[in-house]
Amino acid sequence: MKLDAKALRYMSSEEFRVLTAVEMGSKNHEVVPSQLIAQIAQLRHGGTHKRVGELAKKKLIARVQNMSYDGYRLTYGGYDYLALKTFAKRGTVYSVGNQIGVGKESDIYIVADEDDNQHVLKLQRLGRMSFRTIKSKRDYLQKRKSASWMYMSRLAAMKEYAFMKVLYENGFPVPEPVDQSRHCVVMGLIDAFPLRQIEEIGNPGKLYSELMSLIVKLAQHGLIHGDFNEFNILIKSDGSPVLIDFPQMVSTSHVNAEYYFNRDVECIRVFFRRRFGYESALYPRFTQDVNREFSLDVQVAASGFSKKMQKELEDYQEEIKDMSSEDEDEDEDDEDDDSDEDATEAETSAKDNIPELTEEEKMEQKMRNIRLGNTEPTSEEAELASEKDSDSEEEDSDQDEELDEEAEMARRSEKIEKLNNRDFKAFRDVKPTKKTTKKSTTASREEEVKNKVARTLKNQANRQNVKNTRGNNLKSKGKRKDKADCKGGGGFFD
């Protein structure tokens, strides 16, 4: 993710409070619930939901879809803003400039303080290249698994700042450490070029000896760089080297210390042989040339970067190496498949490019085989024989198909003759159906008329019954009224 610091100057203190709440909730939650964000932020007049929406628009936090609850997670952009806010409070960073470098898992920018002193800002981006592979494998962070990538980036920044500070204080050619917060490190700007960009050099033997003595000096102080190559070495205008990038540095008491030491030496030897054509028979060996005199690794542990953090970071680096080796194996398998395909294509092309024999050469080859007693047919004779066999098989199949067609035609002709030779009677076996249909239609009409007359008579009888019942009801009602009047004995005014 590219750093965009334009919105940083317009952000309010309440928005930073909500962003810090999301960071604190990420320690125990993969997706921080909205209610927990409001509880941690504790804004006086509320409005947490509004601030969360504004932060999501700026892509400092992200809402996770398909969750059982409403929640957000912190992005690298929001983590960058929190670190820059800390640097601004300390006076370390006042302005952010252009991007001057991109690493496999880091971004590098030019920054300046309030006095216009230029520095270098390095942002760790661990997990950018290896997210898919390690996400399912890593289980050593336990509760921190949700925020593992940012936690590992923070560990890498802490380690680099601790080693850089110790080396700078002991006179090693490294950048000046300025400040560190979260996953960001601020260091001094050096006017130099990476060794990988230099095509020619006046005295390669001098630079070679300086680099080898630097490796030995680090080991004598109890440290091994672990990634000592042309990408992590800067060359100044006067030809002196400067060492950068320390997240993979280990102690000489490490289990694989000899392996890392020899690997650093071999990287420099291979690079000088390929780039400058320089190869020396003299090179340091871990068992012979390393005599530990100082313990800078102990000073690093005392600075706050503990052994537990070192172990977590080393486990991460080992998984990165395993992933890269798996990718290389897959590439080798693909290359093997391609080589097999190329070999088969070459064989077919070689077969196609065999020159054809003339008639005289064919006869000579045949006579030679007869003299030697070789009765096996030649390739051409075998091809002719196979063609003849295929032609004979095709002819047999054609004959079988013709016989089947003739039998089918004979069967159909017999069937047609049987139908034509049928003896039909001169009279009709059944009486014509028209008359029967007329009779049936007349009978059905008579039945319909009878049913219709019966229905009408029935309806008339029903109507008469209804009239009679109504009349009886009225008569009985009048009688009941007369009886009531007689029982009452008249009205009030009688």
Q: What is the DSSP string of 338-361?
A: HHHHHHHHHHHHHHHTPPPP-HHH
State the DSSP H helix or E strand holding residue 395, giving kind and residue range, or none if neither: helix 379-420
Tokens 């962070």 label which residue?
141
Largest CA distance in the chain: 165
Nearest Cα residue to 93 out of 155, 180, 220: 180
Angle at 130 between CA 125 and CA 132, to 5 degrees: 125
Beta bridge partners of 194: 234
Based on C-alpha coordinates, what's the Rg of the chain? 50
Which residues, including other chains, have CB under 8 Å from residue 5's CB and lie 6 or more apart? 81, 84, 96
- In this structure, the number of other CB atoms found within 10 A of the CB of residue 211 comes to 23
Which residues are known catalytic residues?
Answer: 227
Nearest Cα residue to 153 out of 265, 277, 316: 316
| Separation of alpha carbons 122 and 84, rounded Å | 12
Tokens 């939901």 label which residue?
49
